[in-house]
Structure 1
Amino acid sequence: MIISDRIGETSLLVEEILNTINRCKLNHIPKDILNLKLVLTEMKAKFESMTTNRSLKSINTQCTAAYLDYNNRYLSDLLAQTKTWKGNLRETQEEDLKVILSKINTLFEFLEIVPLVPEDDLFSLEKSHPRWEALQGITETFHSDKAKRVNEKYKKFMGQIATGQAFVSKGYEEVPGIKRYLMIGLGSIYYLLKKKKALRKTNLLYAEPRIEVAIHVCNLLETKMIRKLMKVVIKSSRYDKIVYIPRLVSEVLKPYQIIKSQEKLSLTPVQDYVMARILNTINLDLSSPIKTYNKIVIHIHGGGFISMSSASHQVYTNVWCNNLQIPIISIDYRLAPKNPYPAALDDVWQTWNWIIQYGETIGINPNQYVIVGDSAGGNLALALTYKIIISGLPPPNGLVLAYPALNLDKNSFSPSLLFSLDDLLIPYSFLKLCLEAYLPEGIDIKNPMISPINIEKEVLEKFPMTRIMIGTEDPLYDECFRFAEKLLNCGGDIKISQYAGAAHGGLNYSFKGGIRETRDMVAKASEWMKEMLEIV
């Protein structure tokens, strides 16, 4: 079917929904129905304008077709819902309406961008195109024989996470203060028994997310109770120490300049110092080291710039530490919205400078080092590497990026973003919330230290060995290949490992009782780091 016919078909589906709503005999019309009619009317008008001859010539047919597939699925679900509306809507019907309205609003936002994607965009080309053949030459695929089974495991696991998200949100909506934690506890019991209600509650949370609830939902792994439980199922490191690192150089957005002489790190909190966690396989005497390590890993955790810490990522950093037999320094950068950009980036920049200049005072003199980051941490890892290179300083021996956030422009579109409509970890509404929390108003979103997808050719030419891992069902999937292509075209040493059926956040699910296949991701990253650091 040609694209104009497909657009027309979708427009007719929207019209049928509007007619069905108008025929509904409701005693009371909820505000969400009025909002739904408004967005559907605007959507129909947009589809009609797209079918003019002039508009059809400029439409990206591949992206539009992928978009219509998703849109029609949700519109069909909505049509089925509207046919059940009569009298007074039940509570569950109003909740379903709120959830699908959120998704329709997202699809309408995409509709403004989808047709404008350039025809020569990587994801508008057939897989037989030379550009894709070049990328396939640097891509290794895992679990292709069990992609469906892996994806089902992710969905099941996300359903379990939804239970936790539901009881946290319940505690927040019910009562303030100390009573809130009682409600969270009671909510956990309630939703463990009623998992369908937990999923509904989570979808409602995503439909109208609030930043304070989002932060606490994302920080489930940070609670004392969960941390104690996690210690049972994750491997420990013999040495696990929190330290506080002084700021010795100019702020990250300013030209590089040393502004302070040597200052020792602290074992207790100091104002304006950066908190970090040092992991090692043997005890370190930080005051008078008897051994010096010349190879280290600098780790930057994920969490959407608003949540999590080095502790919640020890499920895999401990494994790496034990496998590599070298120190790992995991940075606890400041989080948004209290500390928006460039606070987090400045923290990793200051930590890197202290380690390189004065790490020998604690037995760490890194002649070779690797920077690792996942999700938001991948964004910061690339931004840090960019800053190091443009400052004329020694770049890392390698970069390991797990499902990195490469493009923070919410006015961009790529087909994999459609996965976020169903994603229970990073739904599109949460992605937007994270960006709004992290980025100050009026910021230049094209800045490479914000959106590394925009790193200039002359800087990419100086990039170290780079390895990326990504799941095929991850909303951030497409940008990983766009970035890899740019680096490849600059002569970079770049490889991608893609994991069939995997969604976002795989490394964090590698604990006993999590998703078994994600342990392959942990092992692959360890293999890459050994290669980069020449560890036999």
Structure 2
Amino acid sequence: MSDNVICNTLYFLQKCQLLLSQIEGRQEWINEINECQKELEIYKINHPLYEYCLSFITDKIIHPFLQELDIIFNSQDVVRELQKYELNFNYVIKRLSLIREFIPNVVKVPLDDLFCKPQTDEEWIQLNRYIEYVNLDDPLSLSKQFDQFYDYIAMGAAYCTLGSKYQNQLISLIVQNVGGAVMLVKKQTARNIKTKEITNPSLSFVKGLWSIQNNSTFFKNFMKLTNCRVKSHLKIHVPFLFRENQFKYHHDNNNTYVQEKFKGFRMVDDLYNKLQGKELLLKQKQQKIKVRILSANKIVLYKDVDYVQLVQRITELSSEHHQISQINQQQENRNIKIKKVVLHIHGGGWIAMSSFSHQSYTRKWANYLGEDTIVFSIDYRLAPEYRYPYALEDVWQLYLWIINFSQFYLNISIEQIVLAGDSAGGNMALGVCFRAIKYGIRIPDGLLMAYPAVNLDFTKFNPYLLQGLIDQVAPATVLKLALHEYLKDTNAKPNVDPYLSPLIADDSFLLKLPKMTIMCGQLDSLTGDTIKFVNRLRKLEKQFRMLIYNGINHGFLNFEVPIFAVPAIKPLIENSCDLLKQLFNQ
């Protein structure tokens, strides 16, 4: 390792401490910097990722911090100038504490790991033949567009925060809307509020910001007005038909990867009433799966369900002698045109967002794919009220309902089904595939995943994780909170559970995955694990396509909201439509 790298980092940290020691009441900052320095010295070894890590944090965090300290001490009023930077400095100190957490994991990365090898290594040369790096705009223009977008996020953060201290809903709403309007001109104030909130994010803040399109009357109505129109837009409520205790998630290596022949399902009680057509339209106290349906064709919800065929189907599902994949029995007198299905699974860290907040692109998918396609977009249960594996259970149950029962209620005849998920949704799309593989059930025909979370074991370091320290959309502090809320009190083990970390799934499961397309941002902290995932697919000679968009970070499918949009994202959304269509055509 270059001595200059570690010397520079330690020198800058020492200089920061020296400057801060001249300011009263900042001992907590000094202590954290000192602890970070000690941690770096302890793990001072010759390791390629350690050197990269030090260079990154020095260039992106420590050196800018030192420059701002110099500005303060060169000013005439140090105390007053410090107040301007205090929130930024708190965020720097918070990130130094995160750096202390993952430094020990950096040096544990094996030297034969993909990211320890140079780009000239044969493994990278082979892998890069499968990865397309896409430029959406020139870097300067893209940077300006995102700076504007980050200001919109800051305004959203301010909007969510301003009314939170008022218990009276009317007062809270007034303060939010008036304050939000003020933030349009007081951008720095909005930025400060955002910085303060993401330093030590609360669950209510993150849920509020990520679900602002659902929770804010203004934004909700704005979305309704600006979303493109589709011919059919329905909301249904699918009952649970299969006993949940049938789907326990195994953590022991002896059972997780055992593939079984289909043996039938245990169905819920009161099955007949739950299978009546009117059930799909009823919101009831009992738990149901909320689903949004979009299509460029007219979707018909049948009033007269053929219970003879329905009972026959139930018999097949409960039998040891039939495969669940035989699903295309239809009534001959029904003219069925819709034969392609997209099951969309939204992201949001398992704690926020919904099918509604993702309509800015799912409606475009529905229109682009045409009259022979239907899009099911699920609203699964969210943490912390429903932690792992409830969300995955919801998606699994809906998948089973679609491939087995949907044709009895809707004018569809499934020939192909593609799962599409972003972030947490991509994680669960793979989870559904693994569950189908394990139990000998029909596997989806394709996967479209955008910035999927393929590894929830953050003790496994890769250099892309450093992006979370500077990400304006999904910062490391927020991702850490979301993961904590999803897994808390569940005894979940992301280091051994492939339903949490698909990256570690056995080759026998990866071999049976369908063709897939993966879209990622170059500046996304999750992209590194996705690269390792597709490298495993490459070695198994699986069919996949990966696109990495330069200069783009996490969550880009949601960046094309009118007025607040990043202009460069428009061709990316159009690209997603085409990529989804290609999965059906192959």
Same fold (TM over 0.5): yes
Mapped pair 1:76 → 2:127: no
1:317-376 Cα offsets, whole Å, 9 max, x none, are 111111112110000001111111111101000100111110111223322100000111
What CA distance in whole angstroms lies between the structure 2 residues aligned with 1:96 and 1:520? 34
What CA distance in whole angstroms lies between the structure 1 residues aligned with 2:168 and 2:64? 36
Q: CA deviation at 1:108?
A: 2.3
Q: CA deviation at 1:253?
A: 2.4
1:500 to 546, 550, 554: 550
Listed as ranges, the matches of 1:74-473 within 5 Å are: 74-77=64-67, 79-80=69-70, 83=73, 91-143=83-135, 146-173=138-165, 177-222=169-214, 223-251=216-244, 252-253=247-248, 257-260=265-268, 261=271, 263-264=275-276, 265-270=279-284, 271-288=286-303, 290-292=334-336, 293-325=338-370, 326-361=373-408, 362-441=410-489, 442-446=491-495, 447-473=497-523
SS at match of 1:266: helix
1:61-105 Cα offsets, whole Å, 9 max, x none, are 444544444343354246436736856886434323322222222
What CA distance in whole angstroms lies between the structure 1 residues aligned with 2:14 and 2:59? 17
Match of 1:40 in 2: 33
Rate the CA distance shift 1:339–1:133 in 2: closer, same or farther, 3 A. Answer: same
Per mean C-alpha deviation after superposition, the further-off stretch among 506-515 and 10-19 is 506-515
Per mean C-alpha deviation after superposition, the further-off stretch among 116-125 and 299-308 is 116-125
Per mean C-alpha deviation after superposition, the further-off stretch among 111-120 and 466-475 is 111-120
SS at match of 1:193: coil
Q: How many residues align?
A: 525
Rate the CA distance shift 1:59–1:209 in 2: closer, same or farther, 3 A. Answer: closer
Paired amino acid for 1:501: G
Per mean C-alpha deviation after superposition, the further-off stretch among 347-356 and 63-72 is 63-72
Task: Say whether the 8 Å CA contact 2:292–2:376 is kept in structure 1.
Answer: yes
Rate the CA distance shift 1:294–1:202 in 2: closer, same or farther, 3 A. Answer: same
Aligned-CA RMSD value: 2.4
Q: CA deviation at 1:18?
A: 1.7
What CA distance in whole angstroms lies between the structure 1 residues aligned with 2:130 and 2:67? 40
Task: Say whether the 8 Å CA contact 1:70–1:418 is kept in structure 2.
Answer: no
Q: CA deviation at 1:525?
A: 2.4
Paired amino acid for 1:310: S
Q: CA deviation at 1:123?
A: 2.1
Gaps of 5+ in 1: none
What CA distance in whole angstroms lies between the structure 1 residues aligned with 2:28 and 2:175? 32
What CA distance in whole angstroms lies between the structure 2 residues aligned with 1:139 and 1:254? 33
What CA distance in whole angstroms lies between the structure 2 residues aligned with 1:151 and 1:347? 39
SS at match of 2:163: helix
1:498-531 Cα offsets, whole Å, 9 max, x none, are 1111122111123444123323222222223322
Paired amino acid for 1:283: K
Task: Say whether the 8 Å CA contact 2:384–2:485 is kept in structure 1.
Answer: yes
What is the aligned-residue identity percentage?
Answer: 27
Paired amino acid for 1:10: T
Paired amino acid for 1:373: G
What CA distance in whole angstroms lies between the structure 2 residues aligned with 1:525 and 1:183? 39
1:289-313 Cα offsets, whole Å, 9 max, x none, are 9543321110001111111111111
What CA distance in whole angstroms lies between the structure 2 residues aligned with 1:435 and 1:78? 32
Match of 2:330 in 1: none
Rate the CA distance shift 1:266–1:15 in 2: closer, same or farther, 3 A. Answer: same
Task: Say whether the 8 Å CA contact 1:60–1:124 is kept in structure 2.
Answer: no
Paired amino acid for 1:473: L
Rate the CA distance shift 1:147–1:398 in 2: closer, same or farther, 3 A. Answer: farther
Q: CA deviation at 1:533?
A: 1.8
Rate the CA distance shift 1:183–1:415 in 2: closer, same or farther, 3 A. Answer: same
Per mean C-alpha deviation after superposition, the further-off stretch among 38-47 and 253-262 is 253-262
Task: Say whether the 8 Å CA contact 1:74–1:100 is kept in structure 2.
Answer: no
Match of 1:520 in 2: 571
Task: Say whether the 8 Å CA contact 1:206–1:427 is kept in structure 2.
Answer: yes
Paired amino acid for 1:253: K
Listed as ranges, the matches of 1:21-40 within 5 Å are: 21-24=20-23, 26=24, 29=25, 33-40=26-33
What CA distance in whole angstroms lies between the structure 2 residues aligned with 1:58 and 1:229? 49
SS at match of 2:512: coil
Match of 2:7 in 1: 8
Task: Say whether the 8 Å CA contact 2:136–2:569 is kept in structure 1.
Answer: no
TM-score, structure 1 normalization: 0.92
Rate the CA distance shift 1:285–1:48 in 2: closer, same or farther, 3 A. Answer: closer
Paired amino acid for 2:302: S
Rate the CA distance shift 1:424–1:496 in 2: closer, same or farther, 3 A. Answer: same
